[in-house]
Amino acid sequence: MKFLDLTKVYIRSGCGGGGAVSFRREKYIEYGGPDGGDGGKGGDVIAEAVEGLNTLIDFRYQQHFFAKNGQGGMGRQRTGKGGDDIVLRVPVGTEILDEDEETVLADLTEVGQRVVLAQGGNGGWGNLHFKSATNQAPRRANPGQPGVERTLWLRLKLIADAGLLGLPNAGKSTFLAASSNARPKIADYPFTTLHPNLGVVGVDNAEFVMADIPGLIAGASEGKGIGDRFLGHVERCSVLLHLVDGASETIAEDYQTIIDELEAYGGELAHKPRVTALNKIDALDDEEREEARSTLEEACGGQVLMLSGVSREGLTDVLRAVRAEITEDKLRLRAEDVEEEPWRP
């Protein structure tokens, strides 16, 4: 399944049915008069967050969604049938944006959450509503209200507890594969990751979701590269894990490049808790490790953890540091194996 996190849709709610102009004329039955019924209400356009989806690819092949119109009213005081609603099933974490791509109309962050994007038009009144003592035979009825037509954007921000950041080839995909059951593409060239990957990571009988996004480069906030498109997927994370390539000759510059892009992106992303780790230490000897570690510590002004996604050295310590920044209500505890006592008659 291809990954798609931004798409445009065209929606239109249903028009209300018109009211009826009708009179009761039945032989041998007195007290006739107006009996025109009201029109039915037009259908709504609704967005609903559902389980089992992590992409908006379904909206690549269908962009137009029109709800049904309400049925017109009829004689004998019969109200027209309401139009059927139409429901857009979207992944959890989808934002509904107005046509300007900036105004957020709704943010669906929980399964089952629903929002009405376009209200259906009300049905018109039949002539029965206009009967009065001075107008006992009204010959007027209201038309139904028109539906609402609008253009919207759907933007997906994946729900994850922790996010991976780093330059291309910093070893993010290798780390995710080593710490979870996710199987992202891994290769020895930059921009191997072209779309976000999610993995469930477990440590100390607790599980949390980690997101790996494409690597950032200098100038990403100005549109260079592809990583800036996916920074929104780590906006909801509680903590960011910043991986720096320990085999690089410009460790301090590599670290600062990512920090500059986070600050240029804006919002709360630059102020989220961060865990900084020096990756690929399996390629360094003891002296090179210490030199690289001191360089990175001086650049970030804090603690630096050491790890290798290939040899899994230091992997548990890094996961524990990430877990410590996630609130307990977001962690999922593993079900421990409990030995049952043998059955006795």
* Residue-wise pLDDT tens digits, 94-126: 999 999 988 999 999 999 999 999 999 999 999
Helix, strand counts (H, E) of the chain: 5, 17
Backbone angles phi, psi at 262, to 5 degrees: -65, -40
Annotated ligand binding at 279? The verdict is yes
Annotated ligand binding at 64? The verdict is no
The pLDDT confidence band at residue 191, using thresholds 50, 70 and 90, is low
Annotated ligand binding at 157? The verdict is no
For residue 339, pLDDT beyond 50? no
Annotated ligand binding at 173? The verdict is yes
Annotated ligand binding at 316? The verdict is no
Cα separation, 161 vs 45, in Å, equals 31
Least confident among 5-19, 42-56, 111-125, 260-274: 260-274
| 78 contacts: CB under 8 Å, gap ≥ 6 | 20, 37
* Residue-wise pLDDT tens digits, 222-277: 556 555 567 777 888 889 999 999 888 889 998 998 888 888 877 778 788 999 99
Annotated ligand binding at 172? The verdict is yes
Cα separation, 126 vs 34, in Å, equals 9
Alpha-helix runs per DSSP H in the chain: 58-61, 172-179, 251-265, 286-300, 315-324
- 42, 144 Cβ separation under 8 angstroms: yes
For residue 313 the two structure tokens come to 């050295």
Annotated ligand binding at 309? The verdict is yes
- 39, 16 Cβ separation under 8 angstroms: yes
The pLDDT confidence band at residue 341, using thresholds 50, 70 and 90, is very low
Annotated ligand binding at 193? The verdict is yes
For tokens 């309400």, the residue is: 70
Backbone angles phi, psi at 233, to 5 degrees: -75, -15
Q: Which CATH number fits domain 6-156: 1.10.530.10, 3.40.630.30, 3.40.1710.10, 2.70.210.12?
A: 2.70.210.12
Annotated ligand binding at 179? The verdict is no
Cα separation, 198 vs 179, in Å, equals 11
| 95 contacts: CB under 8 Å, gap ≥ 6 | 104, 106, 107, 108, 154, 155, 156, 157
The pLDDT confidence band at residue 10, using thresholds 50, 70 and 90, is very high
Annotated ligand binding at 213? The verdict is yes
pLDDT, residue 236, reads 84
Annotated ligand binding at 14? The verdict is no
Mean pLDDT across the stretch 166-178? 85
Annotated ligand binding at 166? The verdict is yes
Instruction: Tell me if domain 6-156 and domain 162-333 are identical in fold.
Output: no
One-letter amino acid for residue 245 of the chain: D
The pLDDT confidence band at residue 160, using thresholds 50, 70 and 90, is confident
**Domain spans in the chain, listed from the N-terminal domain onward:** 6-156, 162-333
pTM of the model: 0.77
Least confident among 43-57, 179-193, 233-247: 179-193
**Does 3.30.70.100 match the CATH number of domain 162-333?**
no
148 against 165, higher pLDDT: 148
One-letter amino acid for residue 315 of the chain: L
Annotated ligand binding at 122? The verdict is no
The pLDDT confidence band at residue 185, using thresholds 50, 70 and 90, is low
Annotated ligand binding at 191? The verdict is yes
According to the per-residue pLDDT averaged within each range, which of 17-21, 129-133, 207-211, 261-265 is highest?
Answer: 17-21
Residue-averaged pLDDT of the chain: 85
